[in-house]
Amino acid sequence: MKARVHVMLKNGVLDPQGEAVRHALGALGFDKVEGVRQGKVIDLDLAEGATEADVTAMCEKLLANTVIESYSIEMA
């Protein structure tokens, strides 16, 4: 079983890395980009019997800083 976790900064949290990417894109001539939010994707290979609740616990304890980040889980 596989799980994919998308982790993004919550709305309202400054994203300096995203702003640096937006600035660099502008410098390269991509002037139609108004904003960039950068996050991370974590792919997990899970043992049989693992559940979405298990992945949620992983996110809450390690994979996401829930004070400033939100996450979503895709199970496959």
Q: What is the pLDDT of residue 49?
A: 97
pLDDT digits (tens, 9 = 90+) for 33-66: 999 999 999 999 999 999 999 999 999 999 999 9
- Eight-class DSSP state of 10: P
Instruction: Work out the angle at residue 72's Cα, subtended by the Cα atoms of residues 60 and 33, and round it to the nearest 5 degrees.
Output: 120
CATH code, 13: 3.30.1280.10
Q: How far apart are CA 47 and CA 34, in angstroms?
A: 42
Q: Which domain holds residue 54?
A: 2-75
pLDDT at 46 (0 to 100): 98
Query: Edge-to-edge strand order for the sheet containing 2-9?
Result: 40-45, 2-9, 69-75
Token pair 């829930």 is found at 66
Residue 35: how many CA atoms within 13 Å on its side-chain side? 4
Overall domain count for the chain:
1
